[in-house]
Amino acid sequence: MILRLIKTFNKICLISVITFCFFQTRTVLASTEPIINVLILKDKKIRIRSDKSIPLIIKGKRFSSKKIKGLTLEKQNNRTTLFFDKNKQKIYDLKKEEKFVVRSSDRRGIWVGQKRYAGKLKIFIRDNDIMVVNVLGIEKYLSSVVGSEMPAKWPIEALKAQAIASRTYALKQKGNPLYDIDSTSKNQVYIGLEAGTYKTKRAVNSTRSLVLTHKNKLINSLFHSSSAGMTENSQDVWDHKYPYLSSVKDFDKNNPKLRWKKNFSKSELLKLFPRIGGIKKIEILNITSTGRVKKCENIWSIWN
């Protein structure tokens, strides 16, 4: 009987230790995970709401942890206004540089327009528009980025590679005053919770904290949809040479974006190059080793 009690006690202690270590590990991981600030919207009119019954909480100088269902912000002429769903008649006039934080305990996220986002939102009132910045852990952010930048049905190893490249790229951008990174193709695409799937989360979790470095520094881990069969040397694109961005053959012959064409009208060219009166004729002066145009010259800048 005593032996059984000792065995039972030992099992309970072992389970308690494992449970403690598991939750401690999760706590440490959560506390050390980098936070990313993502610009998700810049507009004149913005609608933010909760998913269902769980309210949002808005906090700022004029609102002290106020519980709300939703809010609408609008900039018209020189006036920026805000009103809440429950009392649309009460309109608040917002000042330039005023800012708020909106958060929710709902795991379904916060609706901004037609998209849902995890984490919290920072709202900034600027001169010409209203900015919404999503603040969240980088691993949560990456689950959506991987699904936004690459089809989630692709092989898991491809998704893992995308996760590592995107994590490196995002961390390289950190340090800007209002936000670290844009949610569009200007940086890397991030469309919120809808883009996250089981496979993208698995790819992110299995590569957690892995990044690409050169001489112990994060690289500029650029990626693309198609390179037309060959990537370019960095020195032929920018002023600086990056040793890790050298031209290599690419196996993307079946990519639908391998070849593309865009036509410009005279008026469009005039708008793009107003200082030289548009473009009449271009002469190619130099090409790179991959056959791309490196230097060209505008022959006639005055229309006939």
Confidence band of 252 (pLDDT split at 50, 70, 90): confident
Q: Give 235's DSSP letter.
A: G
Cβ(140)–Cβ(38) below 8 Å: no
Residue 277 pLDDT: 82
pLDDT at 301 over 70: no
86-144: pLDDT as tens digits: 889 899 999 888 999 999 999 999 999 999 999 999 999 998 899 999 999 999 999 99
Task: Give the whole-number percent of the chain exceeding pLDDT 90.
Answer: 55
Tell me the pLDDT tens digit for each residue of 268-291: 988 888 888 888 788 888 988 888
Q: Which of the four CATH numbers 1.10.10, 3.40.50, 2.60.200, 2.60.40 does domain 35-137 have?
A: 2.60.200
Please tell me the predicted confidence (pLDDT) of residue 204.
97
**Rg over CA atoms, the chain:** 26
Report how far residue 132's alpha carbon sits from residue 43's, in angstroms, rounded to the nearest whole number: 9
The confidence band for 17, taking pLDDT boundaries of 50, 70 and 90, is very low
Q: In what order do the strands lie in the sheet with 110-112?
A: 87-94, 79-84, 70-76, 45-50, 110-112, 115-117
CB 223 within 8 A of CB 189: no
Residues across the chain: 304
Most trustworthy range by pLDDT among 30-39, 139-148, 222-231: 139-148
Q: How far is CA 120 from CA 56, 101, 132, 182, in A?
A: 10, 7, 10, 16
* Ranges of each domain in the chain: 35-137, 266-298
